């Protein structure tokens, strides 16, 4: 079961550059915001491979965030890695009429897509699998 969801303002659309990352920290969430094909995408900023800062990377032509440390690839839509069996958290982003990019965050459980395994849920605080 997921906790209550809430929308948080991240930045303005005109602060984003197509294909380049922007680091934003909101309420302890360290996020990478990317503009890909004129649409904002929000992912965890931490690369699970070697701890790279994903916002310092870029999005390639296939829609993958490229980690600047070792060029690991993460699909900005699903969070799936093209390099290994570790995915990253993605967040639902929205563009408001005034040009503000907002993100939906949850203070409870985390859901991430893993390659060929479907969604996986774990408690953010402990990393333990959810029952059932």
Range 5-123 has CATH code 2.102.10.10: yes
Map out the domains of the chain as residue ranges.
5-123
- Residue range 14-48, pLDDT digits in tens: 999 999 999 999 888 899 999 999 999 999 999 99
CB 88 within 8 A of CB 81: yes
pTM as predicted:
0.77
Residue 123: predicted pLDDT: 42
Per-residue model confidence as pLDDT tens digits over 57-95: 999 999 999 999 999 999 999 999 998 888 999 999 999
Token code pair at residue 77: 């839509």
> CA 86 → CA 49, 82, 103, 116, distances in Å?
8, 9, 23, 11
Banded model confidence at residue 119, pLDDT cuts 50, 70, 90? very low
């Amino acid at each position: 079961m997921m906790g209550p969801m809430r929308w948080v303002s991240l930045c303005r659309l005109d602060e984003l550059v197509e294909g380049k990352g922007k680091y934003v920290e909101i309420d302890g969430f360290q996020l990478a915001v990317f503009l890909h094909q004129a649409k904002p995408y929000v992912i965890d900023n931490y690369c699970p491979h070697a701890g790279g800062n994903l916002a310092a990377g870029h999005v390639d032509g296939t829609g993958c965030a490229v980690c600047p440390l070792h060029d690991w690839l993460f699909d900005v839509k699903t969070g799936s890695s093209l390099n290994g069996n570790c995915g990253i958290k993605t967040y639902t982003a929205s563009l408001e009429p005034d040009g503000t990019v907002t993100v939906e965050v949850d203070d409870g459980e985390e859901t991430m897509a893993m390659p060929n395994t479907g969604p996986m849920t774990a408690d953010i605080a402990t990393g333990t699998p959810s029952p059932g």
